[in-house]
Amino acid sequence: MNESEYLSPVWRDGIFKGRVVFVTGGAGTICSVQTRALVRLGANACILGRNVEKTEKAAEDIATARPGAKVIGIGGCDVRKPEALQAAADRCVKELGGIDFVIAGAAGNFIVPMSGMSSNAFKSVMDIDVLGTFNTIKATMPHLLRSSSPRIIYVSATFHYTGAPLQAHVSAAKAAIDSLAASVALEYGPLGVQSNVIAPGGIEGTEGLARLSSDRPEDMEAYKKQIPSGRIGTVRDIADATIFLFSDAGTYINGQVIPVDGAAWRRQGGAQIGIDGTMQYPDFLLTGEVSKNLRDPRKGKSKL
């Protein structure tokens, strides 16, 4: 990536020199860019993912952001398994010297109405997002407490602020993550830990936006018009927010949920998640319809 795609020019070189960041979901389109920005500014990193080849390649690519950077890619790591995360955290400390920052970004999502969602499907998202976040906290906290500036960022969403059709599972999971972040701030804040949430809106070029939104140009233009800031977010927007929270400028921010979405959630009643311009609420729920213009529609017939 060109540096201008993932990093604003306002940040000083080397501000994270000597720091180590541990990232779950680190091969994903958002978390990999967050990591790349931190590495470019001096950090070393350990990224985790389910896919071995994808995670290792992402680590190699991120390491090119700065000469001499050390980036470990640990694939085949399931955040639902505490022992897998513990082994990864221990390896990170052994090879990189410690853990200063954590980004909890492992997540799952798909489009489905509640009437078409199985208990297993709901549990799968809750396990990856919520249990995976809890396991990440437990595995890294002993190492974080040895750092002079221990900080955690959780990558959440905004669906649960208002509720969103076809996203009951994700809304429940992200609400729980926001609550975990608050608990960490309260219980570990006195020990110096900062615990904050970044809640991205729709981010251009990411797998998440492709899966949740119609790919018709006219639908994307309609979506942009609903965003008060007048544009879809970029991965650089998320990376810049991450740098701010981990930098010395963010030392007094703790226990906060920060939407990075151009105020889109305040107009979320018109969000086009899993639908397109030909579909109207509540008609698409009554007929069990899901947009045919999604990359990966999980169709389930509604029984409302």
Residues β-bridged to residue 103: 23, 153
Chain CA centroid to CA 199, Å = 8
Contact assessment for residue 207 and residue 228, using Cβ atoms and an 8 Å cutoff: no
> Is 54 noted as a catalytic residue in this protein?
no
* Catalytic residue list contains 118: no
Of 132, 155, 177, the C-alpha closest to 233 is: 155
The answer for residues whose C-beta is within 8 angstroms of residue 298's C-beta and 6 or more apart is: 110, 111, 112, 116, 290
Report the C-alpha gap between 147 and 99 in whole angstroms. 7
The residue from 171, 174, 213, 291 that is catalytic is 174
Residues 24 and 48 sit within 8 Å (Cβ to Cβ): yes
- Cβ partners under 8 Å of residue 96, min gap 6: 20, 44, 45, 46, 70, 72
φ, ψ at 90 (rounded to 5°): -65, -40
Q: Which of 32, 156, 213, 214 is catalytic?
A: 156
In angstroms, the CA 164 to CA 175 distance is: 13
What phi-psi label fits residue 110: left (phi over 0), alpha (psi between -120 and 50 degrees) or beta? beta
Catalytic residues: 156, 174
